[in-house]
Structure 1
Amino acid sequence: MLIFPETRFDFCGDEYIYAEISKEMRIESNFKAISITNELRKRQIPGIVEIYPANASYLIRYNPNEVSPHDLLAYLQEVDREKSKRSELNFDSRLIEIPVWYDDSVTKEAIEKDQHRHQEPGQSNFDFVMKINGFTDKESFIEAHSVNPYFVTSLGFKPGTAWTFPLGIENEQVIQAPKYMSPRAKTPREAVGIGGAFTVVYPTQSPGSYQLIGLSAVPVYDPTQSLEMFKESFFLARPGDLWKYRPISEAEYRNIREEVNKHTYQYKVKHVPFSGEEYDEKRAAYISQMMEGF
């Protein structure tokens, strides 16, 4: 049964209100953050400048010359109470396939240059994450990581970075990994990494500290908007989307990259309504139903 603690609101300077739904990361808290921020965008409240959903919180930027901060706080508290009901945790989502070449040679080569920053120098990130999560063979680890869709909880760090959290499994089944002891100097573009309980795809080459387990064949950030999927936004992800990581071979990776480079690649997408109430009641069965025909 979904039960939310009382949301804690704080004024941050003269232009921000911060709302903490829960102290720990609970996927249900993220459902609420996305439901609330979607509702606030839809209402187009005068004075609100920007809206930022996060994993278990949200941040509102406002213009104090257009709206009283105390009036806005009262309004936010009213919306927050409304969205504390299970029946109100609804939003439109997109199920998007992300083809991944797991245990690839590209990320392996990249991490060799920064072995001194890692907990276990001399071991690949893939093997390290597999071992600490109790897996003894590559195929079962890949299956466990890719079998369920991942929920896009928030965006940040660099433009296009999406934090994704697995759905349909119990917390003790979630694959997790510590970050590097100190960040790598370089992470390949589209590398797939795990940090804590989250999986991310690095949108561009950058420093990074997540454990690298594969390489996405498709971009998640396209400032040139050369692919059809990016016509409305530079970013592939939206909070509330679902990403399904699909294991592929090196040969399929190179075939997909050729389509991407020719600007002909078509992402596999399914538009789905998401219900936090149904997910809370059915969990794995709800996810299986959502995945039908995908």
Structure 2
Amino acid sequence: MAIRFSHGGDEHIFGEVSESMSLESFFTGLSMINAVRAAQIPGVIETCPANASFQVKFDPDKISPTDMLRELRSFEEQAAKSDQTLATRIIELPVYYQDPWTHETEMRFRERHQDPNSTDLEYSARVNGYATIEEFIAAHAGTPWFVSMVGFVAGLPFLYQLVEQKKQIQAPKYLRPRTDTPKLTVGHGGCFAAIYSVRGAGGYQMYGVTPAPIYDPSQKVRYLSEEMCLFKPGDIVKFRPQTRDEYDATLEAIEANEWEPTIRSCDFSLTEFNRDMAGANARLMEALNGN
């Protein structure tokens, strides 16, 4: 598939790999970004991978937009032949599902929801064919999620469920956005899960909260002392349900700066995943558990 390039003024070039998200599109975009970084093109200032696209910022006094575009086009064939294997990390993140804070918030905004008579979890379970909220939560927390993009709000990850497409959780955004969303809400819109790094407006369905900070510009949180954002594109996340008591205990440990998430190095092969999704996910769980 040919990448569609467009200019953003004289300093940016945007590359659209696909109009819809897929892991294949993500890996093509990431391969393009890696090729730009490896080439060390004079004038390139910043690169930004996204779900199914990427953007390059450059200094037009050092490289013209025409020459920058020519450089990018030269990498397309290389990106298409990428082995689509990624050395990455798998991160376990605790989630308190059915928490009181997102519940209170969603009740304040029911007139903006598709079904004012259901909670977000009840609605999402029903439209995805699950008989109970508990079954839906088990499906949400039962498989890994792939971080395809970090942004829109600082530190906010977009996560793509690692299951075959017909089994992916799908849920539309609110009819009208809320003006409030609790910090660290685990939400869902379309095919993407997201974690709200800060409190603010939002339109994703809300399922729970994590006690774990994922963005700390002060870098005082022990596991964010070197990078203020926890996630990077290509990371893999596994949610672990918590009870209220477990949530409170984790939060207490975080406030004492004595807690950090389990993070393990792992490899992810798109070829192997497409060939045997269950087996690939099992190997990711083995890596997370240190096996």
**Shift of residue 23, structure 1, vs aligned partner:** 1.7
Aligned equivalents of 1:145 and 1:183: distance in 2? 23
Answer yes or no: is 1:143 the counterpart of 2:133. Answer: no
| Contact 1:86–1:276 (8 Å) recurs in 2 | no
Answer yes or no: is 1:278 the counterpart of 2:278. Answer: no
Aligned equivalents of 1:98 and 1:216: distance in 2? 7
Mapping 1:20-35, distance limit 5 Å: 20-35=16-31
Aligned equivalents of 1:197 and 1:14: distance in 2? 33
- Counterpart amino acid of residue 147 in structure 1: G
Aligned equivalent of 2:89 = 94
Mapping 1:18-167, distance limit 5 Å: 18-87=14-83, 89-167=84-162
- SS at 2:55 equivalent: strand
Aligned equivalent of 1:292 = 286
- SS at 2:158 equivalent: strand
Moved over 6 A (4+): none
Aligned equivalent of 2:233 = 239
| Contact 2:148–2:160 (8 Å) recurs in 1 | yes
**Shift of residue 140, structure 1, vs aligned partner:** 1.4
**Shift of residue 74, structure 1, vs aligned partner:** 2.0
- SS at 1:208 equivalent: coil
Aligned equivalents of 2:260 and 2:82: distance in 1? 35
Aligned equivalents of 1:83 and 1:276: distance in 2? 14
Aligned equivalents of 1:135 and 1:84: distance in 2? 38
Answer yes or no: is 1:263 the counterpart of 2:257. Answer: yes
Judged with a 3 Å threshold, the aligned counterparts in structure 2 of structure 1 residues 273 and 42 are, in CA distance, closer, same or farther, namely farther
Cα displacement string for residues 238-283 of structure 1 (whole angstroms, at most 9, x for unaligned residues): 0010011111111111111111111111210011122233323333
Q: Which runs of 5+ in 2 are unaligned?
A: none
- Counterpart amino acid of residue 193 in structure 2: T
Two-structure CA RMSD over aligned residues (Å): 1.5
| Contact 1:35–1:90 (8 Å) recurs in 2 | no
Q: Structure 1 vs Structure 2: percent identity of aligned residues?
A: 35
Cα displacement string for residues 60-108 of structure 1 (whole angstroms, at most 9, x for unaligned residues): 1111110132222222122221011142x23321101110111111110
Judged with a 3 Å threshold, the aligned counterparts in structure 2 of structure 1 residues 199 and 21 are, in CA distance, closer, same or farther, namely same
